[in-house]
Amino acid sequence: MTRPPSALYNPAPREVVLKDLLARSRSRLDRLSDADLAELLEDALYTERKRLQQSKKDEEQEHLDVLARALVRGTRADQMNAAMDLVRDWSDEIHGKFDPRTYGFATRILPKALTGLLARRPHNLSDLAPDRRIRVEGPVDLIADLCSEGTVVLAPTHVSNLDSPLIGLALHLAGLPPFVYGAGLNLFKNPIMSFFLSRLGAYTVDRRKSARLYKDVLKDYSVRAMVTGHHSLFFPGGTRARSGRVEASVKKGLLGTGIVAWQEMLEAGRDKPDVYIVPLTLSFQLTLEAATLIGDHLEDAGKQRFIINDDEFTQPRRLAAFARRVLDLDASVVARFGDPVDCLGNPVSFDPEERKQQSIERQRYVCDAEGTVQRDEQRDRVYTDRLADTLIKAYPKGITAMSTHVVAWVAWRMLEERLATKDEFRVVRMPALSRRFSRSTFLERLDVVLQRIRADVQDGKYDSDLPVTARGTLDQAVDRFASYHRSKALAEHGDDLVVEDTKLLLYYRNRLAHLELETP
């Protein structure tokens, strides 16, 4: 499939991008009253000083000192200058270094190189085919059309730090153009990933920075990317799902930039102003950082450590081992694109003529009778809420139930019944001697669950990628659990099955935790 053109192939000079971001910030700050400006800058000063104390670094300290003096005894002009110094630094940090030559090289080499890693002992050249390692599903042809008719925002679930490169490979396999995307600062700790991420359309998001002013700059960057014709990708969940569950809530900051960009393009009289949102659900047999993520979830440390800086992804040897031992499994990753919606959360027609009419009709949501855009932040927040609800409902439909998920679900349910509780902390602390099942009993329970899954798949509730029989499903899951993690979620001990690591079992069970899989 031929890729639709993308603005990424002809990126604007860096100074042009930074000048635009600075102009956007200055325009917004100019509209604030003196009191509101001071409050915004006091928030930036407080949150940044707190962050720097925790990181024990002197970065940006000079600019914070200038800001502090401006707030204490400076004029409005002094405060504006101090604010713009911060905005300039942040804008420079955020802006990526997309290189069309690197992208062209990567899209030629990366699929073969990555799948070469994923195939531990290929028997023939066909074993290196990337579509044997990553299965791409969903309305790809429609999404390709939308990439030519407007600007597309990809909104995936977030499972692992491997999501970004794997989604990039999935986009390549689907014949779709490159997307700009926000990558957490921690991802750049891996030097190889840092080189490619910064040149494949990634812009930097420092989740340690919580100042409202910083978040405004991020939103400005997202809006500018869309307005200048860049298809964008961001994870509405904000960070990886620590528990392993599919996202049941999303952050609406970046999500709301779609409607802002759409209105800007309408005001400018752009030929193709529409912004389309595409949900994407990722399903993995195993997750590289599962042990760290579920531990962080159970310790409730996510509130204190919004970003994990020391997980398996930052360790090159662990990453290489994961690639060799796990991702050599056929169809180990499924990327399922959902049905596109507009930035108001409304379905997008598959018929090109109907889409043209939808494009005209949706303008009445933000324009007056003369076609002039009427800005209304409260109204736009309502539309963004609707869009968020649409994504939350779409993600579970994109799930692909895999053997590790289903077997973990059954084993966890049997532990709950044994303890007569659904308290996950009590189950996790369950004594080792109580975590043994007979294989025959387990297979009976598993067969009941598989029957329910087949019925759900038939009804279109979600999808599955499972062996035909309960025995085949169990054998595959046990083999997968033993292939990478240092401890096993479930293992065979003679004629019995033993849960060796309750935390890992909980993580993989949680992928299907929202489903009622057993028949009444």
Most confidently modeled of 94-103, 195-204, 476-485? 476-485
**Contact criterion met (CB below 8 Å) for 422 and 497:** no
State the Cα–Cα distance between residues 334 and 281, nearest whole angstrom.
8
- For the stretch 355-409, pLDDT in tens is 999 999 999 999 999 999 999 999 999 999 999 999 999 999 999 999 999 999 9
The answer on pLDDT for 285 being more than 60 is yes
Pairwise CA distance, residues 364 & 349, whole Å: 18
Range list of H helices, 95-211: 100-118, 140-149, 163-173, 191-197
Instruction: Find out whether 6 and 84 touch, Cβ atoms under 8 Å.
Output: no
CA 479 to chain centre: 28
The rounded percent of the chain whose pLDDT value lies above 70 is: 79
Measure the CA–CA gap between 142 and 405, rounded to whole angstroms: 30
Which is nearest to 87 in space by CA: 40, 53, 50? 40
In the predicted structure, residue 239 carries a pLDDT above the cut 50? yes
Residue-range domains of the chain with CATH: 100-397 (3.40.1130), 400-512 (no CATH)
Please, are residues 462 and 438 in contact by the beta-carbon 8 Å criterion? Answer: no
pLDDT of residue 301: 40
Question: Could you read off the pLDDT of 102-121 as tens digits, one per residue?
Answer: 555 555 555 555 444 444 34
What is the distance between the alpha carbons of residues 148 and 263, in angstroms, rounded to a whole number? 19
In the structure encoding, which two tokens stand for residue 322, read together?
């994961």
Token pair listed for 515: 């489903």
Q: For 397-423, what is the mean pLDDT?
A: 95
Instruction: Bin 420: left if φ > 0, else alpha if -120 < ψ < 50, else beta.
Output: left
3-class SS string, 289-305: CHHHHHHHHHCCCCCCC
Chain center to CA of 499? 30
Query: How confident is the prediction for the chain on average, in pLDDT?
Result: 84
pLDDT, position 370? 92
Task: Read off the pLDDT band of 100 (50, 70, 90).
Answer: low
Distance CA 173, CA 177 (A): 10
Q: Give, in order, the Cα–Cα distances in Å from 230 to each of 49, 152, 204, 453.
A: 34, 8, 16, 39
* Backbone dihedral angles phi then psi of residue 336, each to the nearest 5 degrees: -110, 110
Of 218, 166, 238, nearest to 196 by C-alpha is 166
Q: Which of 99-103, 423-427, 503-507 has the lowest mean pLDDT?
A: 99-103
